[in-house]
A and B are shown apart, each in its own frame.
Chain A
C-alpha cells in the first residue's frame, strides 16, 4: 500500500475519522494510530514487525536503564548496546550479503574459503529509516535531549508511525514523541494546508516523476547503447529531477498526512538544485538524513572543531557512510565518495579564499551550474545497475552520437515543468495553498477531484514504487 495509491488515501481517511472521533482520550488515540501503523506495515509484509518489536524492546530497555542509571559508564554502555543492536539489524539484513560477495571476490582467489551461497535475507521495508530514527532517540536520551519517560507503546508508535515508516522523514523524538501525550488539534487552515500538500505530493510523484521515469529514464538506463549521447544526457538530467520529485513528492504526502493528525514533520527538501555549491546542496537535499548524519556522526567525530585534515577526513567518512546507507552496493559508496571529494574541495576553497561577501550573479550562476552538473553526473552511478553499467552510460554520454528523437514531447514538457516548479519562488506555492484553504468546502472538494482527474490523465500508465522505498 504505497502512499500514492488510492488504497492509501482511503486508509488515511478511515484512520482520520477514527482518530478524530477519539482524539480527546489518550489511550484510544494512541491505540488508533498504533493499530493503523501496524496494519499499514503488515500490508507490505507482516514478518518484519516481529524484528522491529525486538529492536524496540531492546531500545526501550536501554532507555529505561539509562533513566535509572546513576553511573555515566553504565549509561554509556546502555546507549552503546542500543546503537550496536540497531546497527546489527542493519548489517545483518542489509549489508551481510554485500560483505559476503566482497569477501568472496577478494579472498577466494587466495584460497580462503568464503561462503559461496547467498544469504537470501530480504531487507524489511523501511529498515534503514527505522534504525536511524531508533538510534536518534536513544542517543538523545543519553545526551539528555529527550525524555526517557515515554511508554513502550509510545516508543513503538514513534518508530512505526505510518506516514513515515517506509521512507522517512527521520523525525526526532522532540518533533513527534512528545506530542503523543498532548491532545491534538486541527484548525481548518492546518487541515487545508495538509490536503493541499498531499495533492502537491501526488502531482509531483505521479505526474512529473513517473512520466520522466517511465518515459525516458528507464529505457535509456536499461540500454544506453541504443540511444544518442544527447538522449543519455537528457536522461541523466531527467533522472535527477525524477529522483527529486519522487522523493519530495513522497515527503510532501508524509508531511501532509502527519499534519492531518496534528503532527508537524520537519521539511525534507529545500529546492536542492538551486544550491550554489555542494555543501549547500547537502543543506537542501534529504534534510532529515543530512541533519541526522551531522548530529549523530559528523559532530561526534569532531565536526568542524578539529584540525583541517581531520575535518576533511570527517567529511569523507560521513559522505561514504551516508552513500552506503542508501544501499548495500559499493556504487553507493563511490557516489558518496565523489560527493565527499567535492565537499572537501569546496571546503578547501573556502578555507583558502574565504566566503565572498556578496558574490555576483555570474559567480552564483556558475556555482549553481557546476553543482548541478556534479549532481547529475553522480546520479548516473546512483541509478545504474552497477559500476560497469555506469561506465557504459558515461561512455555513451561522451561518445558524441547525434540525435534527440527519442525524447518525446511529453517528456520535454514534463522536464520543463520540473525545472519551472523547481525555480519558481516559494511564494507561489504559499499563495496557492492559502487560496485553497480559503475556498468553501464544496469548492475545495471539487478542486481535489479535479486534481485527481488531472493526475489520471497526465500520469504515466504505469505507476511505480518510490525510489527510496528500497533504502
Chain B
C-alpha cells in the first residue's frame, strides 16, 4: 500500500498514534501521558470517546461561540437558553399514565408525605439519583440562638419548621413565605419550581409569590414574570451600571418615562396582589385592570421631594379574576409584583439573577433591601450563590477571603433585616471544564467556596445545605453532563438535572421538618400497594392472559361507602383498566332514584309512581338487600327504569346479557318486565312455595351496547327491585361499584349473608375491592377489636363465596371541624389506619391507603385548598377532580404491581370463574 510503503507521512502518523497510546497506557507518571483520560474508566469507552465526535458519543454537539460572545460574559454567568422543558414530564396525575417504575425507596428519606402523582415523579427522580450517584444530604441546622452556657435554644431552621407546623395543624392563618435569592441556576425557576410545588402540596398553596414585571433577560421562561410590553427599561444589579440606591433584593428595576408600558399576569387563584415599586418625586401612576376592567389606580409619587424609596401597594383581586394588567402613566419605576391566594399555605419567592453573587446582592440599596424583605415577612430566606464566585476564583479573579467577607456580609444583612426568619445557605454545585482532548474535568474552587460557606453559615446561625455533596461531589458535573443532565457549558443543569437538584433539596427540607416535630397521628400509614404480589397473583395472571389475547372476562367488584357510591372513583379506574384490557360492560347498577353521578357513564335511572328506597344502614340488622345495601320497593303500578349506554348508537354488536336483580316475595305476583321495550315472558315460579323474600336473578340475552330494562309492579301487589347489570360477551373488564353512602364494614356484615353471598357470586368477581374505614373513623367510640375481628371474618366469608382475591382500601384523610372552625383528625382515624392493614393481612388481602396516596397527614386540608379543590368542604369526601386524582394513583399502583408480577413470571394457571 502506498500509504505504508512510500509515504513516510503515513508511517509518521502511525508511529505517533502508537507512541501516544502507548505512553498514555504505560505505567509512567501522569504528566507524561499525552492522553491521560485513557487511564480513567474503561479503555474501550475512552477510546470510543476519543474517536467519535462528542455529538455522536452521547454528549452534546460543539456549540459555536456566538452565544457566549453575544452574552458578553463568562460562561458561568449566563446559561445558554434551553427550550422549555425539553424532557417530557410524565403527567403523574393522568389516569392513563404509564405505571410507576418499581424503585424501592428507603423509608425516612422524605418521600412519605408526597401525594401519589408527585410520588410517582419522585420515584423516577430517585431512580435517577441512584444512577447518578447523587446523595441524600441533610440540612445542617446549626444554631441561631444559644443560651449563655452555649446550649442551643433554637436551630437555624426553627422559624421555618415552626411555621410549617402551624400550617399543618391549621393554627396559622397567614402564609409561610420563603424568599430564595440565587443566581442563574434559579433564574428560570428551575430547581425552585419543584421545591415550591412540593412544599405547596404538603402544606397548602399560598400563591405564586414574587414575580418580575417582565422577563429581566431577553431569553428564559416567563414563569416568574408578567408578560410585559417591549418598551420597559431594564436595569439589573448584575449590570456593570447597576441601578444604585433604588433596588432591594428583587434586583431589577423596570422603568419607563416615555409613553405607557404595560404588563399582564395570569392571576387565576390569586386574591391579593402587591406591587413593589420606587416611590419618587414627580412619579406617575399605575392602573390595575382585572380581566380588562379598571380596578384601581396606584400613584407612585413619593412624599419626599428629593428622595426615592422602595414602596408597596396592595390590591385585593375579585374572586374569579383571571388576568391582571398594569398600565403605566408617566415616569414610573416598578420592581415586581407578588400574587397570593390569601389562604394559609406556602409562598415561595424566587429571584434568580444571571451572574448573581453575594456581592451582587450586596449592591442593593440597604434600605430598599430591608424594606422589601420585611414586607414579605419571610419565615425562611434561602441564599443560593457561590457558583459565580467559584468561577471567578478558578480564574484567579477573586480571593477566598473576599468570598468569605461577601457571604458573611450578605447573611448578616439578612439576619439583621428579618431577625425572626430562618436563613439557609447552599453550597455551590459542581461545575466542569473541558480539556484539550475534550475531556470534562471538575472546575477548581467549588469545594473551597463550599467549605467557606459551611463555616460562615455556622457562624451566622444559618442552616447550611451541601448541594455539592448532594450532587455527588467532585466530578459529578461531568457525570451529569454525560447523562444529559447538564448543559454544554458544564455549569448549568438542564431541566431534568434541575429537577433532581430540586428533589434532593426538597427532601432535605422535608426531613428537617419531620425531625422538628412529632407526627400528629402515631400511625404507620404505608404508601403504595402492599402485598400485591401474593394477594393479587391470580388476578394479575388473568389480566396477563387477557392482555396476551385470551378471550377472558376479568371481574372487579368494589364494595364500600360514599366514596364508592359516588361512582367518580370507580368510573375512572374502570376507564383505565378497560382501555388496556378491554371493556366487557358496565356491570351492576343498584335500583334507585335518578342520579347525576351516573350520567358520565351513560346510565340513567327513573322511577314512576310510588317507590320507597330502603337501605341497610338505617334498617335493623338482617334481611335481604341488594349488593349496595339498597332495595327499591314499588307500590302497585309503579315503574322503575334503568337504561345503560344512553347515547350509544344502535348496533347489532356486541352480544351480551342483561341481568335483573329482584326479590321474590311470598304471595306476591311477579312484576312485568320489558327489555328494550319488549315484554319478557314470566318466569316459572319456584318449585317450593316461598316462605321468605328470596333473591332472584333473571338473565336476558341482548345485542348491541344500549339497553333499557323496565320493571312494573303488578296492580295488586308490590315489587322489590335490587338492581340490574349489563355485560357483553366481549373479553375485558367488568368493574362493579357497590357503594352505600355512610356504610361501614359493619353494615355489610349485618346484611343477610345468603342474599349477599349469592348475589356477589353471580357477579363472578376475580377481585373484591373493599373500601370501608372512612365512616368508621368518625365513630368516637369505635370498637377496634370488633372491627378487626368482624371485618376479617367478613372478608374471609366473601372470598369463600366468590373464590375471589381481595384488596382492602383504608380511609381517606378524614378531618372534623370544631366550633371555632379548626380542623383536626376524625376521632378514630388513627385506630382505623392501624387496624385495616392488619385486617388485610389476616384475610390474605392486599392493602392500599388512599390517605397515604393523598399525601398523609392533613392532606385533606391541602386537597380542599387546591385549585381546583380536590377535597370537599366537609373534610370527608373528595370532589370529582379529587376522586379522579385518587383513582389515577390507585390505577397506577395496581398496574405497577401488575407489571412487576408480569416480569416475575406467571404463577400456576387458574380456573376462570
Whether A associates with B in a native complex is yes
| Chain A residues within 8 Å of B, Cβ to Cβ | 1-2, 4-7, 10-11, 13, 16-17, 20-21, 23, 43-45, 104, 108, 116, 123, 125, 186, 188, 191-192, 194-195, 206, 214-215, 218-219, 221-226, 260, 327, 329, 383-386, 389, 392, 406, 408, 441-442, 444-446, 448-449, 452-453, 455-457, 459, 461-467, 469-470
For B321, the chain A residues whose CB sits under 8 A away are none
Contact of A43 with B70 at beta-carbon distance under 8 Å, contacts A23-B2, A406-B397 already known = no
> How far is A186 from B193 in the complex, measured between Cα atoms in Å?
61
> How far is A386 from B241 in the complex, measured between Cα atoms in Å?
14
Whether B23 lies near A449 (C-beta < 8 A) is yes
Whether A385 lies near B71 (C-beta < 8 A) is yes
Whether A223 lies near B16 (C-beta < 8 A) is no
Whether A6 lies near B436 (C-beta < 8 A) is yes
For A194, the chain B residues whose CB sits under 8 A away are 9
Chain A nearest CB, measured from B65 CB (Å): 5
Find B53's partner among A7, A116, A219, A223 (CB 8 Å cutoff): A7
Contact of A441 with B55 at beta-carbon distance under 8 Å, contacts A6-B438, A392-B240 already known = no
Closest to A453 in B: B34
Interfacial residues of chain B within 58-89, with CB under 8 A of chain A in the complex: 61-66, 69-74, 77
Chain B nearest CB, measured from A325 CB (Å): 14
Closest to B218 in A: A118
Most buried by A among B19, B32, B240: B240
For B77, the chain A residues whose CB sits under 8 A away are 222
For A461, the chain B residues whose CB sits under 8 A away are 433, 435, 441
Find A191's partner among B7, B70, B74, B397 (CB 8 Å cutoff): B7
> How far is A6 from B435 in the complex, measured between Cα atoms in Å?
10
Find B16's partner among A1, A116, A225, A445 (CB 8 Å cutoff): A445
Closest to A8 in B: B53
Find B230's partner among A2, A116, A214, A260 (CB 8 Å cutoff): A116
Chain A nearest CB, measured from B209 CB (Å): 28
Whether B65 lies near A465 (C-beta < 8 A) is yes
Contact of A6 with B35 at beta-carbon distance under 8 Å, contacts A222-B73, A461-B441 already known = yes
Whether B12 lies near A125 (C-beta < 8 A) is no
Whether B8 lies near A441 (C-beta < 8 A) is yes
For B19, the chain A residues whose CB sits under 8 A away are 445-446, 449
Interfacial residues of chain B within 15-63, with CB under 8 A of chain A in the complex: 15-20, 23, 31-32, 34-36, 50-56, 61-63
Chain A nearest CB, measured from B391 CB (Å): 10
Contact of A456 with B63 at beta-carbon distance under 8 Å, contacts A10-B51, A20-B10 already known = no
Whether A7 lies near B51 (C-beta < 8 A) is yes
Whether A225 lies near B240 (C-beta < 8 A) is yes
> How far is A470 from B32 in the complex, measured between Cα atoms in Å?
35
For A383, the chain B residues whose CB sits under 8 A away are 69
Contact of A456 with B34 at beta-carbon distance under 8 Å, contacts A20-B2, A385-B69 already known = yes
Whether B15 lies near A441 (C-beta < 8 A) is yes
For B34, the chain A residues whose CB sits under 8 A away are 449, 452-453, 456
Tell me what chain A mostly uses at the interface: helix, strand, loop, or mixed: helix
Is B524's beta carbon under 8 Å from chain A? no
Chain A nearest CB, measured from B353 CB (Å): 14
Is B13's beta carbon under 8 Å from chain A? yes
| Count, chain B residues at interface, CB 8 A | 56
Chain B nearest CB, measured from A113 CB (Å): 12
For A218, the chain B residues whose CB sits under 8 A away are 74, 395
For B13, the chain A residues whose CB sits under 8 A away are 13, 16, 195
Chain A nearest CB, measured from B862 CB (Å): 39
Whether B32 lies near A453 (C-beta < 8 A) is yes
Chain B nearest CB, measured from A368 CB (Å): 29
Chain A nearest CB, measured from B23 CB (Å): 7
Whether A20 lies near B3 (C-beta < 8 A) is yes
Find A7's partner among B9, B36, B438 (CB 8 Å cutoff): B438
Most buried by B among A191, A221, A384, A467: A191
Whether B7 lies near A7 (C-beta < 8 A) is no
Closest to B438 in A: A5
For B12, the chain A residues whose CB sits under 8 A away are 191-192, 195, 441, 444-445, 448
Interchain residue pairs A-B with the least CB separation, the first 6: A385-B72, A191-B9, A445-B15, A43-B53, A470-B66, A1-B53
Contact of A192 with B9 at beta-carbon distance under 8 Å, contacts A5-B438, A465-B64 already known = yes
Find B54's partner among A7, A385, A389, A449 (CB 8 Å cutoff): A7
Contact of A44 with B61 at beta-carbon distance under 8 Å, contacts A13-B13, A188-B9, A385-B71 already known = yes
> How far is A75 from B395 in the complex, measured between Cα atoms in Å?
58
Chain B nearest CB, measured from A412 CB (Å): 14
Chain B nearest CB, measured from A202 CB (Å): 9
Closest to B3 in A: A20
For B435, the chain A residues whose CB sits under 8 A away are 456, 461-463
Is B105's beta carbon under 8 Å from chain A? no
> How far is A467 from B66 in the complex, measured between Cα atoms in Å?
8
For B789, the chain A residues whose CB sits under 8 A away are none
Interfacial residues of chain B within 516-536, with CB under 8 A of chain A in the complex: none
User: Other CB < 8 Å A-B pairs besides A17-B10, A441-B11, 12 of them?
Assistant: A6-B50, A16-B10, A43-B56, A45-B55, A108-B230, A188-B8, A192-B8, A445-B15, A445-B18, A448-B12, A465-B65, A469-B64
Is B580's beta carbon under 8 Å from chain A? no
Chain B nearest CB, measured from A238 CB (Å): 14
Chain A nearest CB, measured from B78 CB (Å): 10
> How far is A152 from B682 in the complex, measured between Cα atoms in Å?
89
Is B684's beta carbon under 8 Å from chain A? no
Whether B64 lies near A125 (C-beta < 8 A) is yes
Is B1's beta carbon under 8 Å from chain A? yes
Whether A186 lies near B7 (C-beta < 8 A) is yes
Chain A nearest CB, measured from B105 CB (Å): 39
10 sample A-B contacts, Cβ–Cβ < 8 Å, listed by A number:
A23-B2, A191-B7, A214-B395, A219-B74, A219-B397, A385-B71, A444-B12, A456-B34, A461-B441, A462-B435
Chain B nearest CB, measured from A328 CB (Å): 10
Is B434's beta carbon under 8 Å from chain A? yes
For B8, the chain A residues whose CB sits under 8 A away are 188, 191-192, 441, 444
> How far is A304 from B479 in the complex, measured between Cα atoms in Å?
60
For B375, the chain A residues whose CB sits under 8 A away are none
Contact of A21 with B56 at beta-carbon distance under 8 Å, contacts A191-B8, A445-B19 already known = no
Contact of A470 with B72 at beta-carbon distance under 8 Å, contacts A219-B397, A453-B34 already known = no
Chain B nearest CB, measured from A307 CB (Å): 40
Closest to A104 in B: B230
Closest to A408 in B: B396
Is B907's beta carbon under 8 Å from chain A? no
Closest to B77 in A: A222
Is B223's beta carbon under 8 Å from chain A? no
Closest to B65 in A: A465
Closest to B238 in A: A223
Whether A2 lies near B62 (C-beta < 8 A) is yes
Is B437's beta carbon under 8 Å from chain A? yes
> How far is A385 from B62 in the complex, measured between Cα atoms in Å?
21
Contact of A21 with B436 at beta-carbon distance under 8 Å, contacts A445-B16, A470-B64, A470-B69 already known = no
> How far is A449 from B32 in the complex, measured between Cα atoms in Å?
10
Closest to A126 in B: B64
Contact of A467 with B437 at beta-carbon distance under 8 Å, contacts A16-B10, A20-B10, A449-B19 already known = no
Chain A nearest CB, measured from B221 CB (Å): 15
Chain A nearest CB, measured from B527 CB (Å): 44
Find B61's partner among A45, A384, A452, A455 (CB 8 Å cutoff): A45
> How far is A409 from B512 in the complex, measured between Cα atoms in Å?
48
Chain B nearest CB, measured from A371 CB (Å): 25
Closest to A384 in B: B72
For A389, the chain B residues whose CB sits under 8 A away are 72, 240
For B71, the chain A residues whose CB sits under 8 A away are 385
Chain B nearest CB, measured from A168 CB (Å): 15
B173-206 Cβ-contact flags toward A at 8 Å (1 or 0): 0000000000000000000000000000000000
Find A21's partner among B3, B32, B63, B73 (CB 8 Å cutoff): B3
> How far is A226 from B242 in the complex, measured between Cα atoms in Å?
14
For A1, the chain B residues whose CB sits under 8 A away are 53-55, 62
> How far is A109 from B441 in the complex, measured between Cα atoms in Å?
50
